[in-house]
Amino acid sequence: MQVVAFGDRSYLSQVSVLRRAAIDALADYPLEVARLRLLLHAYNTTFRVDTTDGRRFALRLNTGSRKTPEGLRAEMSWLAALARDTDLSIPEPMRTTDGRLFTEVHPSAFGRPLPVALFGWLPGPDLEDGARPEHLVVAGRTMAALHAHAEQWTLPADAVLPPLDTILLDVPDHLHDPHPHLTPEREVLVHAAFDHISRVLVDLPAEQPRHVLHADLHLGNMKWHRGRLSVFDFDDCGIGMPLQDLAISSYYLRPQRALESAMAEGYASVRPLPTCTTEQYEAIVAARSLVLLNDLLVTENAELRAVLPRYAANTEIKLRHYLDAGEFRHDLPDVQPLW
């Protein structure tokens, strides 16, 4: 019987494939599963795992991640070091029965090996809805604490993290490939923004430090529970500049300037803010829209593929405003809701 390619399946069919893969992966861990519930099927896929003895875990299947085994080992090693060295609330990595930090399954419908990692459970709701400035002050302090730890942490010899040293971070460039949703006019605009951001960032101060970053600290990757902030989803971590973490967070906070300012205030209360010009900062913020568009052009996720037409149209509007005004914004006329 012919196997339907994963990218050609519906959302529900993809989830069905991944649920079976999750069950296979959990056999490698020293626990008895009572219940498995889907939390998110997007870039990657996460299930909540409830065990017969009342514990809870988060199981992440790297369905969209480009991370190599060496990169996943680096991510999990940093998380283990953060759990050991700091009082930050982060997802503690769980080891398999034979002591590995992650495992791998081979669902035939997926078409390639699928890395899987299990994490301790973080309680509380995501901060995506209802975030207040006081939450972002703590988020800024937490980001600064991550950077302080990263400065003194050394990668294990068998682990590698990619350099986040291009506009698209560590991702292959698909923006310069033909695509139905890159119309000729849109393609010209995207390439103009790409070239403009490249010119602006080439003059970043050479003394900018470089170390491991979370590289995806948005409100959907933060939880708040009983007055404590947790941060999770370190899948995008790589070697870059602290400035990038701040600008990536700013991309998701726009146009809520009070939240953006609160994050910077919290960061500055722990360590000095990175040095750059406003033009350079806006360029890194705007570059995030190119990173996300670049990913969406090649995603296999059925739900994300469905929003690509609107996301591409929105990106065109936002990049045109950025090139004209020098400021990146989401709250512009004609920008469509994605969901």
Secondary structure letter of residue 240 according to DSSP: E
Calculate mean pLDDT across residues 239-263. 97
Domain limits, the chain? 6-120, 133-325
**For the segment 86-131, what is each residue's pLDDT rounded down to a tens digit?**
999 999 999 999 999 999 999 988 888 999 999 999 999 999 888 9
| Predicted TM-score of the model (pTM) | 0.94
The tally of CA atoms less than 13 A away on the side-chain side of residue 31 is 26
Q: What is the pLDDT of residue 111?
A: 80
- Residue 335 CA: distances (Å) to CA of 215, 251, 294: 25, 15, 19
d(CA 273, CA 250): 14
Rounded CA separation 25/46 (Å): 13
Task: Calculate mean pLDDT across residues 219-242.
Answer: 96
Poorest-pLDDT segment among 137-151, 296-310, 312-326:
296-310
162-212 pLDDT, tens digit per residue, is: 999 999 998 999 999 999 999 999 999 999 999 999 999 998 877 788 999
Check if the beta carbon of residue 57 is closer than 8 Å to that of residue 49. Answer: yes
Q: pLDDT per residue over 28-78, tens digit each? A: 999 999 999 999 998 899 999 999 999 999 999 999 887 889 999 999 999
The CATH H-level superfamily of 6-120 is: Phosphorylase Kinase; domain 1 (3.30.200.20)
Sequence-distant (≥ 6) Cβ neighbours of residue 93 within 8 angstroms? 76, 79, 80, 83, 101, 102, 117, 118, 119, 120
Q: Is the pLDDT of residue 229 over 70?
A: yes
Res. 141: pLDDT tops 90: yes
Backbone torsions φ then ψ of 245, nearest 5 degrees: -60, -45
- 8 Å CB contact between 234 and 79: yes
Q: What is the model's pLDDT at position 65?
A: 83
Q: Under DSSP, is residue 35 helix (H, G, I), strand (E, B) or coil?
A: strand
How does residue 3 score in pLDDT terms, banded at 50, 70 and 90? confident
DSSP 43: S
Q: 183 by DSSP, 3-state: which?
A: coil
Distance in angstroms (rounded) separating the CA atoms of residues 71 and 162? 7
Phi-psi sector, 54: left (phi>0), alpha (psi -120 to 50), beta: left
**CATH homologous superfamily of domain 133-325?**
Aminoglycoside phosphotransferase (APH), C-terminal lobe (3.90.1200.10)
pLDDT (average), residues 269-289: 96
Give yes or no on whether 6-120 and 133-325 have one common fold: no
Between CA 319 and CA 41 the distance in angstroms is 28
Distance CA 167, CA 163 (A): 11
| 102: number of Cβ within 10 Å | 22
In tens, the pLDDT along 284-316 reads 999 999 999 999 999 989 999 999 999 999 999
Please tell me the predicted confidence (pLDDT) of residue 205: 76
Give the residue-averaged pLDDT of 325-332.
97
